[in-house]
Structure 1
Amino acid sequence: MTEVNTLDETLTIPTQLIEAQKLPTLILGGGFTGLFTALHLSHQHYQTPIILIDQSSRFIFKPLLYEFLSGEMKTKYICPRYDTLLHQSGIEFIQDTIQSIDLQQRQVQLASGLHYNYGKLVLSLGSVAAYFDVEGAEEYTLPFRTTEDAVALAKQLRNCLQRATQTPKPQKQALLTVAIVGAGCTGIELAATLADLLPNWYAALGSNVADIRVVVIQQGKEILKGISDSLRQTAQTALRERKVPVEVLLETEAIAVRRNTVVLKRNNQIEQLSAATIIWATGSEIDPLISTLSIPEASHDKQGRLKLTNNLQLLDFPEVFAGGDCTVMEQPLPATAQVAYQQGATIAHNLQALAESHSLLPVEIGLRENLIKLGLDESVADLFDSDRVKGHLRHLIR
Structure 2
Amino acid sequence: MSNTLDKIAEVPQRLITPETLPTLILGGGFTGLFTALHLSRQHYTTPTILIDRDWSFIFKPLLYEVLSGEMNMQFISHRYDALLHKSGITFIRDNVQSIDLQQRKVSLASGLHYTYSNLVLSLGGVVSYSGVKGAKEYTVPFSTIEDAMTLGKQLRDCLQRATQSETLQQKKILLTFVILGAGRTGVELTATLADLLPDWYDSLGGEISDIRILLIQRGKKILKGDDDHLRQTAEDALHKRSVSVKVMLETTVTEVRPNIIVIKRNDQVEEITAATIIWTTGIVTNPLIDTLSIPEGGRDRQGRLKLTDTLELIDFPEVFAGGDCAVMEHPLPLTAQVAYQQGAAIAHNLQALSEGHSPIAAEIEMRGTLMKLGMNESVAKIFDRYEVQGHLGHLIRQAAYIELLPTLASNFKGTLEWISDELFQRCVGV
Residue number in structure 2 paired with 1:357: 356
Q: Is the 8 A contact 1:25 1:120 kept in 2?
A: yes
The answer to whether residue 48 in structure 2 is matched with residue 71 in structure 1 is no
Q: Is the 8 A contact 1:263 1:270 kept in 2?
A: yes
For residue 82 of structure 1, the aligned residue among 80, 83, 106 is 80
Shift of 1:76: 2.2
Residue number in structure 1 paired with 2:255: 256
Shift of 1:302: 2.1
CA distances 1:208-265 after superposition (whole Å, capped 9, x unpaired): 1111111100111211122222222121111111121211111111122111111111
Q: Is the 8 A contact 1:42 1:89 kept in 2?
A: yes
Task: Name the CA distance, whole Å, in 1 between partners of 2:241 and 2:134.
Answer: 30
The answer to whether residue 326 in structure 2 is matched with residue 327 in structure 1 is yes
For residue 58 of structure 2, the aligned residue among 48, 57, 60 is 60
Shift of 1:120: 1.0
Amino acid of the residue matched to residue 249 of structure 1? M
SS in 1 for 2:32: helix
How many equivalent pairs are there?
380
Higher helix share: 2
- The alignment's TM-score, normalised by the length of structure 1, stands at 0.92
The aligned runs of 1:1-398 (5 Å cut-off) are: 22-167=20-165, 168-398=167-397
Unmatched 5+ stretches in structure 2: 1-16, 398-430
SS in 2 for 1:370: strand
Task: Name the CA distance, whole Å, in 1 between partners of 2:89 and 2:74.
Answer: 20
Q: Is the 8 A contact 2:380 2:394 kept in 1?
A: no
Amino acid of the residue matched to residue 153 of structure 1? L
Q: Is the 8 A contact 1:55 1:96 kept in 2?
A: yes
Shift of 1:21: 7.2
Shift of 1:288: 0.4
SS in 2 for 1:381: strand
Amino acid of the residue matched to residue 393 of structure 1? L
CA distances 1:3-37 after superposition (whole Å, capped 9, x unpaired): xxxxxxxxxxxxxxxx9872111100000100110
Q: Is the 8 A contact 1:135 1:256 kept in 2?
A: yes
Q: Is the 8 A contact 2:183 2:224 kept in 1?
A: yes
Amino acid of the residue matched to residue 312 of structure 1? L
Q: Is the 8 A contact 2:134 2:257 kept in 1?
A: yes
Structure 1 residues 353 and 274, CA gap change in structure 2 (3 angstroms) = same
Task: Name the CA distance, whole Å, in 1 between partners of 2:201 and 2:152.
Answer: 13
Amino acid of the residue matched to residue 388 of structure 1? E
Moved more, 295-304 or 171-180: 295-304
Shift of 1:84: 2.4
SS in 2 for 1:207: coil
Task: Name the CA distance, whole Å, in 1 between partners of 2:85 and 2:299.
Answer: 36
Q: Is the 8 A contact 2:182 2:223 kept in 1?
A: yes
Q: Is the 8 A contact 1:24 1:49 kept in 2?
A: yes
Task: Name the CA distance, whole Å, in 2 between partners of 1:289 and 1:314.
Answer: 15
RMSD between aligned residues: 1.5
Task: Name the CA distance, whole Å, in 2 between partners of 1:390 and 1:98.
Answer: 42
Task: Name the CA distance, whole Å, in 2 between partners of 1:307 and 1:148.
Answer: 32
Shift of 1:83: 2.1
- The alignment's TM-score, normalised by the length of structure 2, stands at 0.85
Task: List 4+ stretches of structure 1 deviating above 3 A.
Answer: none
Shift of 1:294: 2.0
Task: Name the CA distance, whole Å, in 1 between partners of 2:129 and 2:335.
Answer: 20
Structure 1 residues 339 and 21, CA gap change in structure 2 (3 angstroms) = farther
SS in 1 for 2:173: coil
Task: Name the CA distance, whole Å, in 2 between partners of 1:309 and 1:196.
Answer: 44
Unmatched 5+ stretches in structure 1: 1-18
CA distances 1:88-139 after superposition (whole Å, capped 9, x unpaired): 2111111111111122222222222222222111000000112221222122
Shift of 1:310: 1.5
Shift of 1:313: 1.1
Shift of 1:345: 1.0
Structure 1 residues 141 and 289, CA gap change in structure 2 (3 angstroms) = same
**% same residue:** 66
Task: Name the CA distance, whole Å, in 1 between partners of 2:338 and 2:37.
Answer: 16
Amino acid of the residue matched to residue 385 of structure 2? S
SS in 2 for 1:173: helix
Task: Name the CA distance, whole Å, in 2 between partners of 1:387 and 1:268.
Answer: 41
SS in 2 for 1:99: strand
Larger Rg: 1
Moved more, 273-282 or 298-307: 298-307
Task: Name the CA distance, whole Å, in 2 between partners of 1:222 and 1:334.
Answer: 17
Amino acid of the residue matched to residue 106 of structure 1? R
Amino acid of the residue matched to residue 130 of structure 1? S
